[in-house]
Amino acid sequence: DAKTTQPNSMESNEEEPVHLPCNHSTISGTDYIHWYRQLPSQGPEYVIHGLTSNVNNRMASLAIAEDRKSSTLILHRATLRDAAVYYCILNRDDKIIFGKGTRLHILP
Amino acid sequence: DSGVTQTPKHLITATGQRVTLRCSPRSGDLSVYWYQQSLDQGLQFLIQYYNGEERAKGNILERFSAQQFPDLHSELNLSSLELGDSALYFCASSRWTKSNSPLHFGNGTRLTVT
């Protein structure tokens, strides 16, 4: 199974940028890196995904290391509504395994 | 709204019973995934279907089974229920099985076994 490693929890101040790291040293050439987040009492929500190049969308940016063994999800300006568990996963066309994720706390 | 519909939202039943959870994927999505999330646990992958065929299997118990119907909705059947089966069960759908196809999750069915 494709495995990722994330910090258990992180804190950030409201209106500050947040950088959420993920290590995936066993990534293979065709694995896409996906990020999801889960707000309290809700199902996970797709955030962003990428293969090799950095990606931006309205929610966040994804920075992928040149060797693809790590990536960083960037929330440019955190709000209280961004408090959630963030999951980094490798999507490789078969069973998609979620780890424990990073619980992000936003301080007002 | 993800477009994925799960019913029922809540289910309370007794040990030894059998229940069926239902999932309607987003319009146009061919792939359906089932996940189990126990209290303070991560998402455990159970099973995936693509266009009616089983595609991948996780640590799904033998007491659990699933299927995807011709109209692409899916059902997860849980039998001989135990207290430990109490959890949130999520369904997700994606357009294809390809790895660049994002998953879209429903809001889950909360199962309580008493």
Mutate to test the interface with B, among A6, A68, A90, A98 (most CBs of B within 10 A): A98
Give percent of chain B above pLDDT 70: 99
Q: How many CB atoms lie within 10 A of CB A59?
A: 15
For A47-79, what is each residue's pLDDT tens digit? 999 999 999 999 999 999 999 999 999 999 999
Q: For residue B43, which residues of chain A lie inside 8 Å, CB to CB? A: 44, 87, 98
Q: Which residues contact B111 (CB under 8 A, 6 or more apart)?
A: B11, B13, B19, B21, B78, B85, B86, B87, B88, B89
Give the pLDDT of residue A99: 85
Give the pLDDT of residue B71: 96
**Given pLDDT bands bounded at 50, 70 and 90, which one contains residue A29?**
confident
| A22: closest CA of chain B, how far (Å) | 16
Give the pLDDT of residue B42: 81
CA–CA distance from A92 to each of A31, A89, B54 (Å)? 5, 10, 16
Give the pLDDT of residue A97: 82
Give the angle subtended at the CA of B74 by the CAs of B55 and B99, to the nearest 5°: 40
Give percent of chain B above pLDDT 90: 85
For B26-71, what is each residue's pLDDT tens digit? 999 999 999 999 976 788 999 999 999 999 999 899 999 999 999 9
Contact predicate B64/B40, CB 8 Å: no
